[in-house]
Amino acid sequence: MHSSHRRTLLKSGAALGLLGGLGLSAFAAGKIKPGSAALIVVDVQNCFLEGGTLAVKGGTEVIPVINKIAPAFENIVLTQDWHTAGHASFASSYAGKKPFETTKLKYGTQVLWPDHCVQGTEDAAVSKDLKLPTAQLIIRKGFHKEMDSYSAFEEADHKTATGLAGYLKARGIKTVFVTGLATDFCVAWTAMDARKSGFEVYVIEDATRGIDLNGSVAAAWKEMAAKGVKRIQSDDIAA
C-alpha cells in the first residue's frame, strides 16, 4: 500500500475513533440553533481565573470559547460570586479548619473554600476579557453571610430563589445553555436547578472547567445526565 494512502486511512480511523468518543453529537443531531435561548455564563471572575484566590485549573481557557459562541445568543445572563468578608463558606471563618475541608451548616454539608470573590474587590470582578454584547442581567450570589449559593437559580438551602427562573419565563425563554466555572459546583448546580425549574438545559463542556475534588467532576456529569442535562461542545452550536 502506498505510504500516503496508508496515512490517509490511519487519519480516517483516528477521526472515526474520536467521533465515536464524542457520541457523534454534532453529526447525528446537526447543529443546534439557540434562537431565543439564554446563554448563562457562570462565575467567570478573576477569583476563579489564573492568579485568583480560588483559581480553577485552565479556567481562562473558557473565555475565548464563550466569546466565540456569544454572538449566536440574543439573551445572555452572567452570574457573579459576591461574598461578604467572613463568609460561612470560608475556611478562615472556623478555628482549625483548612480550605477544602467540610463543615455542617443548617442546610447541609458545606465545602470550605479559601477566602474568594469578596464584594467590591478586583478579585470578584467579572473578567474584562469576556465579550458579551447582549448580556442583560448579572445575578449576584453568595451575598448572604450565613449561606453559600452555587446555583444561579436558588441558594444552598434549596428554598431561596434568585428570581432568575421568573426572569427567563417572563421573557418566554424555555432553553438555557450553561458555561463557565466550575463544572462540578456552580455550573452543575445551575444546570440541575434549571432542569428543576422546567427548562431544557445544555452544558457546553469545552466552555467549562472543574475543580475536581475527589472525582467531583465525573460525579457532577453523572448527576447532571440523570437529571436530563444535555452535554455538548461549542462546535455543536450554529453560529
The residue annotated as part of the active site, out of 47, 123, 141, 184, is: 141
Respond yes or no: is residue 117 known to be catalytic: no
Q: Pick the closest to residue 86 from 146, 162, 166, 16 (CA basis).
A: 146
**Is 186 considered catalytic here?**
yes
Cis peptide before 28 (omega within 30 of 0): no
Annotated catalytic residue within 43, 115, 123, 148: 43
How many Cα atoms within 13 Å fall on the side-chain side of residue 53?
Answer: 18
3-state class (DSSP) for residue 35: coil
Query: Catalytic one among 148, 186, 193, 230?
Result: 186
Closest of 215, 211, 205 to residue 56, by C-alpha = 211
Query: Which is nearest to 177 in space by CA: 204, 157, 159?
Result: 204
Q: Is 57 a catalytic residue?
A: no
Sequence-ordered list of residues with C-beta below 8 angstroms from that of 75, at least 6 positions apart, any chain: 36, 37, 38, 39, 134, 136, 171, 173
CA distance 121 to 190: 24
- Record the cell numbers describing residue 157, joined without a space: 438551602
Q: How many CA atoms lie within 13 A of 104 on its CB side?
A: 0
What's the grid cell of residue 74?
Answer: 440574543
Which are the catalytic amino acids? Answer: 43, 141, 186
